Structure 1
C-alpha cells in the first residue's frame, strides 16, 4: 500500500477531501513540542513572546498561549487577535516603526505591558495620548545599535533602518524623562535580524544587547524594568542548512541570562519568536490539476501557488532555492524526475518550485510544501487575480479544526461597490 502523509493519524487525502485544496495544515503537537523544546531548557527568567506576524491565525495564537507564550503584535488587528485569543494585556507588547494614532491609543486603552517606540516623535505622540487619558504610558525604546548581526537571513539593525532609534542619538537624549513626563520609560528592545542558524551568534547578540541596555539605562537615568533581546531564531529550509540545537543554544544563553538577572533581579526579560515556533508545524497542500512538458522540462500545474506562499518563491534571494516538497499521497516512491511546480495564476512568477526532485507526478496528486507554518498567507498577495486565501486547518489531539474558511467570490466582492453611470445621485465624498 502506498504510504501517505499524515498529521496525527489523519491522512492528507482525507484532509483534502474534507476541506478542499489548496489548504494550510498545522500540527498542534509540533507547535507544542517546538515551544516546550526551547521553554523547558531556557532560563526561566527569559519569557517567550509569540510574534503574530509569522502566523496571525487566532487559533495558532491561542494554542501557543495555552502552552505559555505571550504575544508580540505589530498592528491593531494583531492586538485584537491576541486579546481575543486570551492573552492578557500585561503579556502583550506592540512594535512597529509606523504606528498610527489609533493603534497607540488602543495600546493605552487596553493596558498592554509596553509600547515599543521606534522614534522620538513617536515617544512624543504617546506622551500626548497619555496626557489626554490621565495615565502614565509604559514605553520601551527600540535601539538601532552600532553593531550588526552576523550570519542572519535578514539584518534588522546595525545600519540605516526605519526600525528603532540610533544608539548614538539615544545616548545624546539625556533629558527624555523630563521632556516626556507622561511616558514611563521602562525598557529597551533590540532586534538584530532573523533566520539566524548559529547558536554562538545568538548568544553573542544577546550578550551585547544586555550590555547596551545597561549602559543606556545609566545614561538616560531610567529604571530598567524590561529588556527585549529580540529573537531571530532561524529554521532550516534549504540544502546545506541545519536547524538550531536547543540544548547547545541554551547552554550558551543561560549563563548570560543568569549573570544579568543577578545584577537586575527585577528586570523582565523577553525573547520574540515567530518563525521558530510555527514554521515546522505547517504544510501547504496543493492539488495537481495538469501535468505537461514544455521544451524538455516537466510542469505540474497545481491549484495553489505563490499567492498563498510568497515565502517559498524566494523573494529577496538571488538564486531560487526550493522549500522542502513532496508528493504527499505517494511518499514511498523515489524522486526520479525533476518538476517545475507552478500555480494557477496567469503570471510566469507563479512558480513555487523549480526542478524539484519528485516521483512521476500525475493529475490528482497532492504536493506539499513542508515547513510552511510561518509567513504563508500573512506574507502573500492572496487577492491577486481574485483567487483569495485558502482554508487553514489545525489538527490537535487527533481532531481537525477548520481555523480559517476558504475565501469565495462573494467574500472578495462584498466590500466593493458597483458604479452605475446611469444613476444621478450625488457621489459619495469625504466629509
Structure 2
C-alpha cells in the first residue's frame, strides 16, 4: 500500500474498508470536535447550540456532539429517543416539525423536554388537550413563526413565503384570544428558521437580527415573557466549485455585537442556534468500491457498489443540480487527475449517478472512491431500500481507532419485517 493512500487519523481507508466492507460511511471524530470547538470559540458564549438530528441521526454522532457541548433538536419520537439515549438532558431538547401526532406530543411530555415547537394553531389546541389529559403544569411551547420578511442567500428557503412550516407572523400576532382559551400551554418564546446553506455571514446576521426584533415585538403584542428565542441556523458548507467557506470568525464578531444589544434588553432569554449540516458534513466520507470500468459512446463510467441509494444528496436536487460533490481516488489521492469518469451506483435507473465527468486518476476495478463532505443527509435522505440493497455500514474514527456505529443491512434484516401471505391466484367467483 503506497504512502499516498488516503487515511483517517492515520488509518488507511483501505484497512477500514477491508474490515467493515463497502459501501460505507466513515466519520472523523476529530472533524466533529474541531467544528464544535471553533463555533464555541467565536460565537457568543450565551448561544446554546442544538444539534439537528435530521442531518445525521446516528446515536454515536449525537453522543459525541453532546459531549462536545451540543443539545438536540428532534423531529420524531425515534430522534427523541436517540437524543435521550445519547445522554442529552431533556431540558436541552426541543421537538419541531409540521406534522406532530398526539403520540409525539405525549412522548415530549413524558420526557420533559425544554419546549414543543408548535407549527400551527391547530397544533396548539392539540398540545393543550394533551396537557389537560396530563393534569400537570402547562406544557412549555415555542411558536414557530413564518416571518413576513424574506431571507437572502439561502440554498433552500424555509420561511418568508407560503410554507407548511410555522404560523404566519400575522396570525401569531393575532392569536392572543386563542391563547386565552388554552390554559394548559405556556408560550415561552418563538422559533424561526429562514433557510439552509447560508455561505455569507452577513445573511445569517441579517436574518438573526430580524428574528430577534420580531420576537421582541410579538412578545409585547401577546403579553408573554420572552424566555427563549430559537433563531435557526442554516450555516452552509461549500460542496461545489466556486463556493467558499462561511467566514465563521466574522459571523461570531457580528453576532456577538447583536446578541449583546439584545441581551441588555432581555437578560434572561435563552438563545438557541440549531445546526445539523454544518456540524457533520465535513466529518463524513462516503466510500464506494469500483466494480467495473467501462466505455459507452466515448464516455468512461465507473460502476461502483454504492451510489445514490445511500447518497441521494450527491445526485443533485434543488440547488445541487448538475454539480458534483468533491470526489477522491482514495488509493491514489495525490496522483494527477488526468482521466474523466462518470461514477454510478448499482441501481437500475439512469438517475443513479454520483458524479458526472469528474477528473480523477485512473480508476480500476477494486479501487476505492470517496465522496467528501458527506456526513450530513446521507443514508437518511436516500432511497436505501431501492432494489433491496439496504443501508450501509457506518464507522466512527476516534483517537486512531475505527468503531462500527451502524451495522450494514443484510437480506435477513430486510426480510424480517415482511410477512408471507399465500393466496389462491384463481379469481374469486
TM > 0.5: yes
When the two structures are aligned, how many residues end up with a matched partner?
423
1:379 to 358, 378, 381: 381
Counterpart selection for 1:389 from 388, 391, 398: 391
Q: Using the TM superposition, give the Cα deviation of residue 422 of structure 1 relative to its aligned residue in structure 2, in angstroms.
A: 6.1
Spell out, residue by residue over 1:36-70, the C-alpha distance to the aligned partner (whole angstroms, 9 max, x if none): 11112111111000000000000000000000000
8 Å contact from structure 1 (residues 3, 329) kept in 2: yes
| 1:57 corresponding residue in structure 2 | 58
The aligned residue for residue 35 of structure 1 is 36
User: 1:346-361 counterparts in 2 under 5 A?
Assistant: 346-361=348-363
Deviation at 1:2, TM superposition (A): 4.8
Residue in structure 2 matched with residue 175 of structure 1 by the alignment: 177
Distance 2:81 2:23 in 1: 27
**Contact 2:155/2:319, CA 8 A, preserved across alignment:** no
Match of 1:293 in 2: 295
Which residues of 2 match residues 81-230 of structure 1 at below 5 A? 81-135=82-136, 136-230=138-232
User: What is the match of residue 285 of structure 2?
Assistant: 283
Work out whether residues 315 and 321 of structure 2, in 8 Å CA contact, stay in contact via their aligned partners in 1: no
1:303 aligns to 2:320 (yes or no)? no
Cα distance, 1:208 vs. partner?
A: 0.3
CA distance in 2: counterparts of 1:27 and 1:56, whole angstroms: 16
Partners of 2:118 and 2:46 lie apart in 1 by 24
| 1:429 corresponds to | none
What TM-score does the superposition give when structure 2 sets the normalisation length?
0.97
Q: Is the 8 A contact 2:307 2:353 kept in 1?
A: yes
Secondary structure of 1:30's aligned partner: helix
Query: Matches of 2:178 and 2:5 in 1, distance apart?
Result: 61
Match runs of 1:207-356 below 5 Å: 207-317=209-319, 319-356=321-358
> For structure 2, which runs of at least 5 residues remain unmatched after alignment?
none
Residues 310-342 of structure 1: CA distance to partner in whole angstroms, max 9, x if unpaired?
000011247410000010111121101110000
Ranges in structure 1 where 5+ consecutive residues have no aligned partner = 424-431
Contact in 2 for aligned 1:284/1:369 (Cα 8 Å) = yes
SS in 1 for 2:210: helix
Q: Name the TM-score, length of structure 1 as normaliser.
A: 0.97
Equivalent position SS for 2:4: coil
